[in-house]
Amino acid sequence: MRIECIAIGTELLTTRRLDTNSVWLGEQLAGLGLAFHRKTAVGDSREDLAALFREALTRSDLILTTGGLGPTFDDFTKELFAEIMGVELVEDVQSRDDMLAFYAARKRVPPAVNFKQALIPVGAEALRNPVGTAPGVWWQDPPEHPGVRIVMMPGVPREMKRMWEDQVAPRIRPLAGAAVQTLRMVVAGVPESTLDERTREVREAHGHLDWSILASLTQVELLARGPDAAALEAARLAFAPVLGPDLVSLGDGNLEDAILAELSQRGETLAVAESMTGGLLASRLTAIPGASEAFLGGVTVYSVVAKAALLGLDPEWLERVGTVSEACATALAEAVRQRLGATWAIAICGNAGPGTEGGAPLGSVFIGLSGPGGTTVKPITMAGDRVEIQLRASALALDLLRRAISAGR
């Protein structure tokens, strides 16, 4: 089955808006053993949208659209598909009632523009939206396109996800063939090209699997896909000695999931003291459900005042050693570990720019790690913009902790 995704909205072409919907849908499809062959983002231009819809109808069996179902002046996904098929839009009574109920529950009256959302192309089926006001559309075998399915979903992620789970996925599942399974190996502390070289031989020995390598600022993923669980398991066994301690985890999680799971299992706890990363490390940990089992919390000591007031560091001493220094990283890690009574503590200080901090050059970072065996500091110089340096430093800190935990230091 050829599946394509069309994300609609001028904002997707021009501004700081990421198309997270199609990423999520790609994952959902992967779970069904399906995959997009293409994803397109296109603006709220009638002409461009109509051209793309016509193309998609020639090359795909399943077309998933997100966006353009709203009440505002720049929403016209349903209208265009209806036009292409030469049918009218009619009001769907259930959708109209749902919208009225949605507003009534909030003690509001629907703005007049909202009624247009209840219009559905003749021959299509409305998909109810229990968490918003824009119904979706399921259109199977539209005029002159037998075998094609068009699914129009809202652009609001929460509404799209709910609609997919409750109404779209159940209709698509029976169309999926043998499920493709994925072996996902998360690796940290190794550059992508090194990992490529190091694993080439094993990968080629398992060349019947579909391989990809995926590097981000925080980790590298090695993915294998295939229909045969035994083949994936054989690949996993062959990789274990090649990856050694660089292998963070198998399956869905990332570095932070692996660390939290390991700590929880050991009954150990973690505290953090963040200067340069300013809460990013804590935020990455607490984005994981159940983080509170092992993560106690920490401090964002973005100023000398905070370092003194929250962790008792002496401002004069800080002035002398510098807030970007090995001594500062050590003191922060030890102080937060002691205050919270944590098994482990991470401290990050550095200069992510712009400019210099306390005379430290841009990209200069010190990561302190304090645990049952004492405190160590890793000094490192990082390249990139502010947020990249913050991301890299938080990932490196987590990886240092991971290695220390498994070494039992």
Site for a copy of itself in 32-71 (CB under 8 A): 35-45, 48, 52, 70-71
Which of 93, 305, 380, 407 is in the footprint of a copy of itself by CB under 8 A? 305
List, as one string, the DSSP characters of 310-334: HH---HHHHHHH-SSSHHHHHHHHH
> How many of the other CB atoms lie within 10 Å of CB of 214?
12
Check binding of 94 to a copy of itself (CB under 8 A).
no
Compute the least distance from the CB of residue 274 to a copy of itself, in Å. Answer: 8
User: By three-state DSSP, how is residue 352 classified?
Assistant: coil
Which one, 241 or 289, has the nearer CB to a copy of itself? 289
Check binding of 230 to a copy of itself (CB under 8 A).
no
Contacts with a copy of itself in 261-290 (CB under 8 A)? 271-272, 274, 277-283, 285-287, 289-290
Build a one-symbol-per-residue string for 149-178: x at contacts with a copy of itself by CB under 8 A, - elsewhere.
-------xxx--------------------
> How many of the other CB atoms lie within 10 Å of CB of 65?
30
User: By three-state DSSP, how is residue 269 classified?
Assistant: coil
Which one, 124 or 329, has the nearer CB to a copy of itself? 329
Which one, 229 or 287, has the nearer CB to a copy of itself? 287
Distance (Å, whole) CA 367 – CA 372: 17
Which one, 124 or 350, has the nearer CB to a copy of itself? 350
Contacts with a copy of itself in 351-390 (CB under 8 A)? 353-354, 383-388, 390
Residues 13-39: b if buried by 16+ CB within 10 A, e if exposed? eeeeeebebbeebbebbbeebbebeeb
Which one, 124 or 343, has the nearer CB to a copy of itself? 343
Distance (Å, whole) CA 110 – CA 107: 10
Which one, 330 or 390, has the nearer CB to a copy of itself? 390
Which residue type does 168 have?
A: V
The residue count for binding a copy of itself (CB under 8 A) is 103
Check binding of 125 to a copy of itself (CB under 8 A).
no
Which one, 20 or 406, has the nearer CB to a copy of itself? 20
Q: Which two tokens stand for residue 309?
A: 């007031």
Phi then psi dihedrals of residue 282, to 5 deg: -60, -40
Contacts with a copy of itself in 174-213 (CB under 8 A)? 192-194, 196-197, 200, 203, 211-213
Compute the least distance from the CB of residue 258 to a copy of itself, in Å. Answer: 15
Contacts with a copy of itself in 236-265 (CB under 8 A)? none
Q: Which two tokens stand for residue 236?
A: 């996993």
Which of 66, 167, 249, 300 is in the footprint of a copy of itself by CB under 8 A? 300
Distance (Å, whole) CA 6 – CA 279: 35
Which one, 124 or 186, has the nearer CB to a copy of itself? 186
- In this structure, what DSSP letter does residue 166 have? I
Check binding of 1 to a copy of itself (CB under 8 A).
no
Compute the least distance from the CB of residue 107 to a copy of itself, in Å. Answer: 14
> Angle at Cα 96 formed by Cα 93 and Cα 97, nearest 5°?
85
- From the list 77-85, 233-241, 339-347, 400-408, the region that binds a copy of itself by CB under 8 A is 339-347
Distance (Å, whole) CA 66 – CA 341: 48
Cα distances from 390 to residues 57, 276, 286, 402, in angstroms, run: 44, 7, 17, 18
Residue whose C-alpha is closest to residue 290's, from 271, 272, 263 = 263
Which one, 82 or 348, has the nearer CB to a copy of itself? 348
Compute the least distance from the CB of residue 129 to a copy of itself, in Å. Answer: 13
Long-range contacts from 76-82, C-beta under 8 angstroms, 24+ separation: 76/44, 76/46, 76/49, 77/8, 77/49, 77/152, 78/119, 78/120, 78/121, 78/137, 78/152, 80/46, 80/49, 80/50, 80/53, 81/53, 81/121, 81/137, 81/139, 81/142, 81/150, 81/152, 82/121, 82/122
Compute the least distance from the CB of residue 277 to a copy of itself, in Å. Answer: 8
Angle between helices 46-59 and 77-85 (to 10 degrees): 60
Check binding of 104 to a copy of itself (CB under 8 A).
no
Check binding of 72 to a copy of itself (CB under 8 A).
yes
Compute the least distance from the CB of residue 122 to a copy of itself, in Å. Answer: 26
Compute the least distance from the CB of residue 338 to a copy of itself, in Å. Answer: 9
